[in-house]
Structure 1
């Protein structure tokens, strides 16, 4: 491995707190991280895509992205189908070799493994991770009637050498693989990538840069000077320019939707149906007068005449509009669409929050709910940042907001989904729910029946649950806890505070009671010996419950939680 690639790999090992000491394994994780970061706009757990071990069918990394979400569990397919009304899938396959040359035998093995992945009669032994990915894939393919279009597949064969496009041996293996995959008649497109050290290095550096784009904004007016705002514009933007803001080079939608915990509401949402009807109608040019448009906030801007380059930008209003436009990006008349656009340039976080609240009036979330949610998220982020020392974590309320911050150890980032799942498992005692029905929890956020992100909740309870997740995840990664228990990790999280404290769960709106409960638990989490013992005690309780952790249906059921809690209560009596 050359010196530059070694330094890049070492950088990832540090920022992701990777535990492997083997150069080949580190390079595999480096390639998996780099490829997926460039294909997927949200923060992800690297362990969910790394499959390289024994019986890996020649594949080091697999990612399945459906409707813009990285799929971890089979049930998520049904949730997305119910919410969006369609499936749009992309498969990513990665193989990484530290050798400085492209060996056709290794390429054959990789490509054969991909073909075998989609084969109805497999000939290769498969490890647990490969089998899980295949199970997800089967669920996707079994819903072919709900496809927006056939799935896309992208493969990445990577070495530390220099790729010569004129190498006939390599190109013939590549072309044969592509033609074989076409014969399956499954895919809308097949993208075969062969990368050397220079190419993978450029992609890795790209992951560290804040998002930026350049577009032509000719039909605009400049707004008057406003305190807290550097520059602001209002106008209309044709879709062929707007898509430069919305869509990346890989034809994926950029993750640029700030303070939008609930995300895209799907085509079955009444507002989105109305947007789609306008686009599909006889007069799509009416879009600019029938739609409220999009509001964008950027940290900085460079202009040259009508050419605008914006940096570190987010769509703070127009998530639904943008997603519907993305879904129709290949329509024949899409270029007739003009999108009303407000562009605000500011680095003032308070101003950003006010803009988010004031411009969001098209969805079912009431302004007061949105304001409370936005302020809570921002304050929770600040609470995390106030913690120093061994328990230092970062709450990521906006996906990839810490990507360009070199001082942040990325494995210490707690994403919104992780926060929701860990908090709900501990304080609502419903780990079965977050494993299977996470989408339903998210849908209720901001509504009166929601039990998470309430304006009077104390932040220590959220931090404690995030730290609990981080510690357990670290023990899995280091091998101190058997990785087979990953599938019941949220059940383990539920048990940890019960074992670490004799106090009852506190009312979450009482600062005094929440801190009295959480701080001693946090202290135990920050002591490795205490933490590993308590996690192991939780695993012993799960083992003593008699449940089968390999039973996928049981893990999704309330009875699993009840049996584990009964096992915990039995332990208290002995």
Structure 2
């Protein structure tokens, strides 16, 4: 709960708690580590490379968490925590590390090898949490300040923060994760749009950057994930359009931005105006993802306060109108309008397809980041995010588990430019759901300790092998809905049964053990030919499996 609450307030997208939790034994006094690069929680070196290629620079934050069930704040435990963080960044670490700490340290070391590409040194935050009450005890403050000073003297960080949470602060952080997103802005330069059926309020005008920034970032300065259909995501500044926006913002004539840019369209569930103060709740930016990200990335530009952003602000609860607004206002170069229309329709329909399942087979497709956060009936482990959908589908049905360490936006781009297609408008929905359910079922067995967690690093190879092993016929075309649904039903009948699915996954693991495939060798998980070895092994030994 502590790790979830802290990371959720620092990172505004859905994440797998297991990726930031540090296992028992060899944890170096640390319970959780989150490394956020260019607004993305990274899990691999490859993701860092992809983000660097997109943006030409790195903006990094580290979050370390230690949580104690004790009601007291103990100086010894705080010292151990700080020493563990110091050891994490040491060139010659002295503490015994488990696999989770080693993985995060490897990513961190790689990030620092790219230090010339830093916008500024990384920010470091340490959270120490107990069930007691934080009273800023003088002795404890001395320990904390001494630890901060030691971390600052490494010269590795732009800022170092130590945050102490008692029960009240932790409860507040958890409650915040359940709140619908809202913000209050001063919107002076505006006009009211006349009444429109299905739209309760609508305005158009100009927002100075300091007010616009309240819409796209939180009070801590973290970028909010308020972008509709986040599969498109930010395309980076390495393209002509976004690069041009950045040049305008940083130029001496940055005030011309408002007449050069098409602006941003924001759709909210409600708008509460009081004079020039507007409180907008449960909102999404349906057009202007690229503009918003470039503005945020340049928020420290010397000329940013000269920039005014053209804004449409609309309140509606009608999903059909919202879709029409999204399609009508999007015409940026990174994605053609006809592609956008198909993508938006496919994502919405896929969400509805997920909703057709009930009971144990019920999963929740999170088309918009954190859309289920305020619903306490939704089990977190049953939420399938867009990145997770992409990775599970590409692994299980396109036989490409070796690519899933990349940033998910890069996976989509590569697949759609080459032979493999994803989210095509004529695709059946069943393979998307089936791949997600296979991932969920495998993760369930890991959580129950039915399967050795050592194999988690090969989980996408396992779900690929599951399909290859247990298909009853050759994989039909994705646009043949009847055949594909029948094909997936065979797989789902095994996955839906706890005992059958466990035996099936164990058989997949036995193949990994017997084939020329070593999960302890990182490159075996990333090479195409190693994936082919697994598939060929099944073909050669099919009669004995």
Question: For the superposition of Structure 1 and Structure 2, which TM-score range results when normalised by the shorter chain?
Answer: over 0.9
Q: Residue in 1 aligned with 2:228?
A: 258
**Distance between the aligned counterparts of 1:450 and 1:273, measured in 2?**
29
Q: Residue in 2 aligned with 1:81?
A: 52
- Stretches of structure 1 that go unaligned for 5 or more consecutive residues are 1-29
2:302 aligned to which of 319, 324, 332: 332
2:132 aligned to which of 151, 156, 161: 161
Q: Residue in 1 aligned with 2:400?
A: 430
Q: Residue in 1 aligned with 2:119?
A: 148
Residue 514 of structure 1 pairs with residue 514 of structure 2: no
Q: Residue in 2 aligned with 1:240?
A: 210
Contact 2:230/2:369, CA 8 A, preserved across alignment: no
Q: Residue in 1 aligned with 2:68?
A: 97
Change (3 A) 1:449 1:287: farther
Q: Residue in 1 aligned with 2:411?
A: 441
**Distance between the aligned counterparts of 1:71 and 1:32, measured in 2?**
16
**Distance between the aligned counterparts of 1:203 and 1:437, measured in 2?**
28
**Distance between the aligned counterparts of 2:417 and 2:311, measured in 1?**
29
Cα shift at 1:449: 5.6
Cα shift at 1:318: 0.8
Cα shift at 1:445: 6.6
Change (3 A) 1:437 1:95: closer
Residue 456 of structure 1 pairs with residue 429 of structure 2: no
Task: Describe the SS at the equivalent of 1:386.
Answer: coil
2:27 aligned to which of 36, 46, 56: 56
**Distance between the aligned counterparts of 1:338 and 1:189, measured in 2?**
30
**Distance between the aligned counterparts of 1:441 and 1:243, measured in 2?**
30
**Distance between the aligned counterparts of 2:7 and 2:406, measured in 1?**
24
Residue 112 of structure 1 pairs with residue 83 of structure 2: yes
Cα shift at 1:570: 2.8
Contact 1:174/1:192, CA 8 A, preserved across alignment: yes
Q: Residue in 1 aligned with 2:380?
A: 410
RMSD: 1.3
Cα shift at 1:56: 0.5
**Distance between the aligned counterparts of 1:460 and 1:429, measured in 2?**
17
Q: Once the two structures are superposed, what CA deviation does each residue of 1:546-568 show, in whole Å capped at 9, x if it has no partner? A: 32111111211011101111221
Contact 1:370/1:446, CA 8 A, preserved across alignment: no
**Distance between the aligned counterparts of 1:260 and 1:93, measured in 2?**
27
Cα shift at 1:437: 6.8
Cα shift at 1:112: 0.3
Q: TM-score, normalised by structure 2?
A: 0.98
Q: Residue in 2 aligned with 1:12?
A: none
Contact 2:250/2:302, CA 8 A, preserved across alignment: no
Deviates more, 1:373-382 or 1:331-340: 331-340
Contact 1:373/1:446, CA 8 A, preserved across alignment: no
Q: Residue in 1 aligned with 2:2?
A: 31
**Distance between the aligned counterparts of 2:317 and 2:489, measured in 1?**
34
- Stretches of structure 2 that go unaligned for 5 or more consecutive residues are none
Deviates more, 1:224-233 or 1:59-68: 224-233
Residue 362 of structure 1 pairs with residue 332 of structure 2: yes
Task: Describe the SS at the equivalent of 1:435.
Answer: coil
**Distance between the aligned counterparts of 1:443 and 1:422, measured in 2?**
16
Q: Residue in 1 aligned with 2:16?
A: 45
Cα shift at 1:227: 1.6
Residue 573 of structure 1 pairs with residue 543 of structure 2: yes
